[in-house]
Structure 1
Amino acid sequence: MGNTVSAAEIAASQIIHPNDPIKHKPYNHSKASTGNYPAECPMHRKAESECPIQQGKGDINPLNMMGPANQEPSPGQPFPLSKERQVSTIPKSIVKEGEGSFWVYPSPQMFWNAMLKKGWKWKSDDLKQKDMDAIIKIHNANNEHAWQEVLKWEALHAKECMDPRLKSFGGKASDYSPRARIRWLMGYELPFDRHDWIVDRCGKEVRYIIDYYDGGTVDDKFKFALLDVRPAMDSFENVWDRMRVTWWRWMYSNE
């Protein structure tokens, strides 16, 4: 579905070395979120890109900052990979001529190429052919789970819009959200990845933040990440939604 590679890279390491802990990048206390939308990812501006496709290279799609689908085997690739792509259940806000109305996930071959572009190096004792199929399933399951969590928030505005759609998204793995930083100061672990999604609420753009935490081993539904999905606190409406949900959770927590 785009440049959501980091979560699957973590999944890959879990598949190869299931007993190793997830490693986080050192947290820089002086680094603060700028709140701006990015040059290389749709939602955040910074000097270094988290995305597998760098800005200014080829025909880049501004909605997911990905170039044309690269389905060609990489030089020295040790085994063939499937080029089949799964259609998600996540509806697009912008549908170009000749495209379907739902976002489409990358194939195993596309994912392999994207991981190589980010600097990942294949070693003989690393991923096997069957592992790439599992990684794709994990990646897709995480995105489907995230969308279902978004829809729970969007249900608060069902009278306003019955058909929310995903407009754009981007990865910001090393730019920790204020919530994640506060949790870390309280002794909790940092998320291993973060995405920002822009949802089209029938003409109104709403930004969602998704923090990905280590959930342990991969389950039989290919889920291993714990997701913290919420609207960004960049509008009064979003702040009010979060206050309402926090109140409800506290009121009904014993039930």
Structure 2
Amino acid sequence: MGAANSREPGQAEAGSAPSKMSSNCPVAEDPAALTEGSCPLPAKYRSPHVYNVYNQKVEPNTAQASPLLQSLLASGKLDPRNNMPLEPNQRPWPGQEKHISTERLVSTIPKGGTASTWVYPSPQMFYNALKRKGKGDDVTEDDMDSVILAHNSMNELTWRKVQQWEALHPETQSEATLLRFCGRPDNLSPLAWMSSWLGGSLPFDRHDWYVDRNGQEVRYVIDFYFDEEKAGSSDAFKLRVRPALDTVESGLDRMRMNIYRKCAQWGIPCPLTGAPSRHGDASPQQQQQHSGTPASA
């Protein structure tokens, strides 16, 4: 995701995914009834469409699909969550001079419709993706460990910020999962456009994350910023995460969150609940004071 995905963590495929998955999923509510080649997703999560990494609907076996894509779709080797191969390319890139790790780390981000979490791409997968997309000219084999570290950290931070918003819905917060995501680096969000028009910097990437909230699909917009003056420090990256204004509920959530954040910053009780604010970007000290949890926890 930007730093958070080279359109590849997503690439995060679940390590426990079946060896075959079909875009035409049979209905199987009983997990014990699932067989090789059947879809592991509960019926309520299924869609007749397959999405690619740019969130475009892909119709299997059509003239619009490339021969390679048609072959992968026909063979059932694509993950319908992100339209990426279930067996990723871990081979060295042609001309690669040094070994790059193929180890994949497991994220803390729950993968919708499964009991597992998303799995991050390995440094080798990430390197291959950059080369394949013509973006790796200034990246060397020695850079990949630090690139992956930044990539994974950005994803984890993004999910924590999504959870802050989901805390506005405590009845379903613990059940929220990430269904799919897409990179949209060439599409400025309204907030990013307005911010840049007022003199702010442009984000280096944008992602849309689709979260399952107890059966309700909620789209989140994430803008990624990088401060060159703070390069090398943990403050160099900045994220703006918020639910997209697709529904009235998301608009109300934005209003509520702004109120909670201001109250947390000012150290005053929330005028909506009368309780100390525990939502949003309160400082670690404020969070410790309100929750009794050590700031380093």
1:42, CA displacement in angstroms? 5.4
Indicate if the aligned counterparts of 1:166 and 1:199 stay in contact, CA closer than 8 A: yes
1:225, CA displacement in angstroms? 1.7
What does residue 109 of structure 1 align with?
124
Q: Does 1:217 align with 2:231?
A: yes
Equivalent-residue separation in structure 2 for 1:87 and 1:164 (angstroms): 18
Q: Does 1:187 align with 2:202?
A: no
Equivalent-residue separation in structure 1 for 2:192 and 2:50 (angstroms): 20
Q: Aligned AA for 1:4?
A: N
Indicate if the aligned counterparts of 1:170 and 1:196 stay in contact, CA closer than 8 A: yes
1:117-196 equivalence runs, <5 A:
117-122=132-137, 126-196=138-208
Gaps of 5+ in 2: 10-48, 58-65, 268-297
Q: Does 1:77 align with 2:114?
A: no
Corresponding residue pairs, total: 210
Q: Aligned AA for 2:79?
A: N
Equivalent-residue separation in structure 1 for 2:67 and 2:191 (angstroms): 28
1:248, CA displacement in angstroms? 2.8
Q: Does 1:94 align with 2:113?
A: yes
- Secondary structure of 2:174 counterpart: coil
Q: Aligned AA for 1:104?
A: V
Using a 3 Å threshold, how does the CA distance of structure 1 residues 93 and 40 change in structure 2: closer, same or farther? closer
Using a 3 Å threshold, how does the CA distance of structure 1 residues 7 and 226 change in structure 2: closer, same or farther? farther
- Secondary structure of 1:162 counterpart: helix
Indicate if the aligned counterparts of 1:198 and 1:206 stay in contact, CA closer than 8 A: yes
Using a 3 Å threshold, how does the CA distance of structure 1 residues 119 and 128 change in structure 2: closer, same or farther? closer
1:75, CA displacement in angstroms? 1.0
What does residue 80 of structure 2 align with?
62
1:170, CA displacement in angstroms? 0.8
Indicate if the aligned counterparts of 2:50 and 2:80 stay in contact, CA closer than 8 A: no
Residue from 235, 250, 253 that aligns with 1:241: 253
Sequence identity (%):
42
How large is the Cα RMSD of the aligned pairs?
Answer: 2.9
Structure label with greater radius of gyration: 2
1:217, CA displacement in angstroms? 1.2
- Secondary structure of 1:78 counterpart: coil
Equivalent-residue separation in structure 2 for 1:246 and 1:43 (angstroms): 29
Indicate if the aligned counterparts of 2:53 and 2:84 stay in contact, CA closer than 8 A: no
Equivalent-residue separation in structure 2 for 1:208 and 1:55 (angstroms): 33
TM-score (norm 2): 0.63
Indicate if the aligned counterparts of 2:8 and 2:129 stay in contact, CA closer than 8 A: no
Highest RCO, 1 vs 2 (Cα 8 Å, sep ≥ 6): 1
Deviations 1:22-46 (A, max 9, x none): xxxxxxxxxxxxxxx996435468x
- Secondary structure of 1:4 counterpart: coil
Indicate if the aligned counterparts of 1:207 and 1:231 stay in contact, CA closer than 8 A: yes
